[in-house]
Chain A
Amino acid sequence: MTSHEDAAIVGIYEYPSRVIEGKSPWDIKAECARLALEDAGLGWQDVDALYDAGENGMGAGFTAAEYFGLHPKVMDTTAVGGSSFEFHTAHARRAIREGKANVALLTYGSISRSQSNAIGTGGRVSERVSNPVNNMENPWGLVLVGNYAMAARRHMYQYGTTPEQLAEVAVTTRYHATRNPDAVNGLSALGIRHTGELSVDDVLSSKMVADPLHVLDCCLISDGGGAVVIAGSGIVPSTRRQPAWIAGTGEAIGYRENESDLTLTAATVSGAQAFGEAAIRPDDIDVAMIYDSFTITVLMTLEDLGFCKKGEGGSYVANGYLRYDHPGGPALNTDGGGLSSNHPGMRGIFLLIEAVRQIRGESTSQVDSPAYCLAHGNGGWLTSRHASGTVILAR
């Protein structure tokens, strides 16, 4: 068994605004890096491992090192969409364990909102240059949300899941968002008039985007940024904050195959790896930060991670079971999630940040002394190619 105390998240920072003007994404990343290192009590040049998801284009590795002015001994540009940061965390722990690095920096910066990237229903027909994938898919007019809608539709067909049950996910995350001032201010800044709690009816009466998903089943599109600092056990004692130890990680890729069950995600694999490493079970998790690009993403991921049986996600998420103040289940997306706090395109870094806040006891929807928090990123598209990264953090 691997030690739970090889590496820990020791510094975090989340950019508070959801609409950011007059800053480049690189500037946002650097500002978040500075403040996350300050949070950790570490210096700029202590960083010897740099991770970048490539959200700002090609050549992310050298551009990131140059822009920051760092000379990393480990550079990793694993780019698997919103789950990149969970993959980075796994890789950083490995690099630290192998003695290749001591302090790893993960950053994210995006002005998707200000650039008016219509991520979910955009008019873009993927890349101009044909590849085997887009050459088979571009003609059919499938928007991003449509991939998730097909997953939801199939889940309903196989298991009897209802739109009301999907809506419960959005209701729970909004409940948590209303307690998070950054999320509430963000909703206002994004022009959302109703920033209070949502009802199931509110979700169901919002506009249908791609059946069966309504606008309120979909995440926000915001600007944003964040940074995470990971340090090895030799460095941790010299940091300032309570460490969030990386107890287990898992990584997996899934894609559509002939005759495959598209209600299953790669979380079945990444989750089993992470729980195995941490030597705990889903029941032991106090806070579940689950990538919520869409309500169906959460429902299917909870099943695949083993929080409930396959097909029973609908009843599992109902009746506020995953609220931070509800006994029994884990608290879900206590910052408000991508559905109601922020989603600049790749949300994985915020899952880690909020999980660390919970370990430290600093969440706006704080669970009482959580022992284990889980962050699960989903990148790509359900019913299609996607990546699952699971990270379990321990006190």
Chain B
Amino acid sequence: MSNVVTRPLPSLDEPDTGPFWEATSSHELRYQQCRECNKVVFYPRRHCTNCGSSILEWHVSAGEGVIYSLTVIRRNGHPYFSSILPYVVALVDLDEGFRMMTNIVQTAPEDVRIGQRVKVSWEDYDRLSLPVFVPVVNAVSAKPAEDKVVS
């Protein structure tokens, strides 16, 4: 594995989503909920997408959910992603009611299924961590997240 080619990482300075990524460094998977109408908002913003309120509260997800859909990427011209082919990109429905894009790791792509229960795992980088997911059945025997550290 080459560590020379680096993975594209999110910016901590992006105003709407920066706080989400800052929290990942302490392995917190955050989402927002409107204090006025209780709508769960994701991706992070500064307003409620249901009622327009600007009063959103941050919550920490338990990090478990179900795979809504997925694909196995077998071609990507990007230097980093081409080095990890094939890999799984998925949409996961978290139990708290938000849907997020992520990677399903530590399991063979062919074994990943829609409807599978998954749990967050963390890939640690300098100033943030990426919330990837692993199937819950495999999670018990999965290697600790620290083994996935790239930099």
Contact = CB atoms under 8 A, between A and B. Distances in A.
A135 B21 contact: yes
B54 interface: no
Interface stretch (A36-44, A57-65, A141-149): A141-149
Interface in A152-191: 153-154, 157
Interface string B95-127: 001111111000001000011000000000000
B71 A138 contact: no
Contacts of A122: 77-78
Contact of B14 (A130, A149, A209, A212): A130
B133 to A, nearest CB: 11
Contact of B87 (A130, A141, A151): A141
Contacts of A121: 75-77
B28 interface: no
A284 interface: no
A154 B114 contact: yes
A133 B20 CA distance: 13
Given A133-B43, A146-B89, A210-B73, A154 B101 contact: no
A150 B87 contact: no
Nearest to B96: A258
B116 to A, nearest CB: 11
Nearest to A125: B8
Contacts of A383: 69, 91
B74 interface: yes
Contacts of A133: 43
B69 A150 contact: yes
Nearest to B46: A132
A235 interface: no
A125 B72 contact: no
Nearest to B114: A157
A46 interface: no
Interface string A311-342: 00000000000000000000000000000000
A141 B89 contact: yes
Find the residue from A135, A154, A210 having the highest chain B CB count within 10 A.
A135
B10 interface: yes
Contacts of A139: 7-10, 130
Contact of B43 (A136, A157, A209, A212): A136
Nearest to B113: A157
A135 B10 contact: yes
A211 B71 contact: yes
A143 B14 contact: no
Nearest to B115: A157
Contacts of A135: 10-11, 14, 16-18, 21
Contacts of B82: 123
Contacts of A140: 89, 101-103
Nearest to B97: A258
Contacts of A260: 99
Which of B11, B49, B68 lies at the interface centre, i.e. has the most chain A CB atoms within 10 A of its CB? Answer: B68
A198 interface: no
Contacts of A258: 40, 42, 93, 97-99
A114 B109 CA distance: 34
A256 interface: yes
16 contacts: A123-B77, A123-B78, A130-B11, A130-B14, A132-B43, A133-B43, A135-B16, A135-B17, A136-B43, A140-B101, A141-B81, A141-B89, A149-B71, A150-B70, A208-B74, A257-B49
Interface of B: 7-11, 13-14, 16-18, 20-21, 40, 42-45, 49, 68-82, 84, 87, 89-91, 93, 97-103, 109, 114-115, 130
- Nearest 10 A-B pairs (CB), nearest first? A123-B77, A149-B71, A123-B78, A141-B81, A130-B11, A154-B69, A130-B14, A132-B16, A211-B72, A150-B69
Interface of A: 118, 121-125, 130-133, 135-143, 146, 149-151, 153-154, 157, 207-213, 256-260, 262, 383
Given A123-B79, A131-B14, 17 more contacts: A122-B78, A123-B78, A124-B77, A132-B17, A136-B101, A139-B9, A141-B80, A143-B73, A146-B89, A151-B69, A157-B114, A157-B115, A208-B74, A210-B75, A211-B71, A211-B72, A258-B93
